[in-house]
Amino acid sequence: MHQWDVSLFSVTPAAALLSRCVSRGAVSQEEIDSASSRQSPIFSSHLHEAVQRIRMQRQLDEVQLEVELLKEEKKSADVTHTFHLTRRFHMLQMFCGHLQELLKDQNSLRQRLMRPLGRTNLPVQAHLHRSVVEVVKMLLDFIETLEEKLDSVHSCTTTRDRLTQLNTSLAQLLAQVAEVQSLSNQVLQWKEVVSSLQSDTSA
């Protein structure tokens, strides 16, 4: 009787699986026999390759996870790193100084802005650092827009003055045109008088 012919005995799931593999040619009886005499639990070259692929895929997944973690760390470095936070703090100080220069003539508004609304040196939680950076950028954009609006207001005042000067110049030009027209009429009348005198003299 063949050693895998176990119809008279109880068949384990492992034995049934091995019998099916042998019948379909996935593994030979010699490989199973040689595997039973070795210490290695892998008795098929195909199974060994499958195990190697699984191990390599697991290592690749670990490497990809490390790469993703490095990317996230790099993305949040401008928020969490001390060097970048120091630069942001200096930019905020420069912004405050620039704001004070803009509001030096607005004493009441400057006092309201400088008056603390609560405790000073309030701690900022770590998950809010990115929001603080975004708010600083929005404030810088607001200041830039405010400067553009102020320049527009000043240019409007200058334009109004120039329009007044243009109207004055236009009035002076019209007066000079009227004067030139009056002089040309006088010249034409004088020419007619001279021509009439010449005709009388010739007669």
Residue 15 lies in a domain: yes
Structural domain range at position 57: 45-75
Same domain as 178, residue 88: yes
Same domain as 160, residue 67: no
User: Which sign does the torsion angle of CA 102, 103, 104, 110 carry?
Assistant: negative
Same domain as 49, residue 35: no
Q: What is the pLDDT of residue 1?
A: 43
Q: What is the pLDDT of residue 6?
A: 46
Total domains in the fold of the chain: 3
Q: What is the pLDDT of residue 122?
A: 57
pTM of the model: 0.26
Contact 114, 158 (CB under 8 A): no
The answer for residues whose C-beta is within 8 angstroms of residue 90's C-beta and 6 or more apart is none
Contact 136, 88 (CB under 8 A): yes
Same domain as 54, residue 87: no
Q: What angle do CA 92, 116, 81 make, to 5 degrees?
A: 35
The SS3 call for residue 174 is helix
Q: How far apart are CA 202 and CA 82, in angstroms?
A: 110
Same domain as 13, residue 55: no
Same domain as 142, residue 52: no
Mean pLDDT in runs of 10 for the chain (203 residues)?
49 74 75 59 65 89 89 71 75 81 72 63 70 85 86 77 86 89 88 80 69
Q: What is the pLDDT of residue 60?
A: 92
Same domain as 112, residue 22: no
Q: How far apart are CA 1 and CA 5, in angstroms?
A: 7
Same domain as 163, residue 144: yes
Q: What is the pLDDT of residue 75?
A: 74
Q: What is the pLDDT of residue 157?
A: 72
Chain center to CA of 25: 60
Q: What is the pLDDT of residue 117?
A: 59
Same domain as 58, residue 5: no
Number of neighbouring beta carbons within 10 Å of residue 51? 13
